[in-house]
Amino acid sequence: MMHRSRNFLAFLSMTLLLACIKPFDPGINSNVENKYVVSGRVTNTEGWQVVQVSLSSPIESPEYIPVGGCQVTILDDMGNFFAMEEYMPGLYRVWMDQQYLVPGTSYQVKVSTPNGEELVSGFDRMPIGPPIDSVYYRIEDSPTSNPGVSNRVMQFYVDLNAVGDYSRYYQWEIVETWEYEAAHPVEYYYDGTFHEVIPPDYTNKVCWITQLVKNVFTVSTNSLSQNIYNQYPLQTVDGVSSSRLGIMYSPLVRQLALSEGAYNYWDELRINSNEQGGLYEKQPFAVKGNLVNVNNPDKDVLGYFYAASETTRRYFYHDVEGIVLGFNRECYEAELVPFFWRDVSPREYPVYYYYNESGMLRILNRYCVDCRLQGGTTVKPDFWP
Phi then psi dihedrals of residue 238, to 5 deg = -130, 175
* pLDDT number for residue 286: 65
The candidate with the shortest Cα–Cα distance to 176, out of 99, 110, 103, 249, is 249
Q: What is the CATH number of domain 36-126?
A: 2.60.40.10
DSSP assignment letter at 100: G
Phi then psi dihedrals of residue 283, to 5 deg = -70, 130
CA 179, 180, 185, 189: dihedral to nearest 10 degrees? -130
Predicted confidence (pLDDT) per residue in 1-20, tens digit:
444 444 433 433 444 344 44
* pLDDT number for residue 274: 63
Provide the β-strand partners of residue 351. 190
Helix (H) or strand (E) holding 4: helix 2-19
* pLDDT number for residue 62: 81
* pLDDT number for residue 61: 78
Predicted confidence (pLDDT) per residue in 91-136, tens digit:
999 999 999 999 999 999 999 999 999 999 999 999 999 999 999 9
* pLDDT number for residue 52: 97
Q: Which residues contact 208 (CB under 8 A, 6 or more apart)?
A: 177, 178, 179, 180, 376, 377, 378, 379, 380, 381, 384
Instruction: Answer whether the bond into residue 103 is a cis peptide, omega within 30°.
Output: no
| Cα angle for residues 228, 45, 253 (degrees, 5° grid) | 50
Q: Supply the DSSP string of 251-284, one letter for each residue.
A: EEEEEEE--HHHHHHHHHHHHHHHT--STTTS--
Would you give per-residue pLDDT tens digits along the chain (385 residues)?
444 444 433 433 444 344 444 444 444 444 447 899 999 999 999 999 999 999 998 877 788 999 999 999 999 999 999 999 999 999 999 999 999 999 999 999 999 999 999 999 999 999 999 999 999 999 999 887 788 788 899 999 999 999 999 999 999 999 999 999 999 999 999 999 999 999 999 999 999 999 999 999 999 999 999 999 999 999 999 998 899 999 999 999 999 999 999 999 999 999 887 655 443 444 445 688 999 999 999 999 999 999 999 999 999 999 999 998 988 778 999 999 999 999 999 999 999 999 999 999 999 999 999 999 999 999 999 999 9
On whether the CB atoms of residues 105 and 76 are closer than 8 A, the answer is yes
C-alpha–C-alpha distance, residues 316 and 178, integer Å: 9
Sign of CA dihedral 280, 281, 286, 289: negative
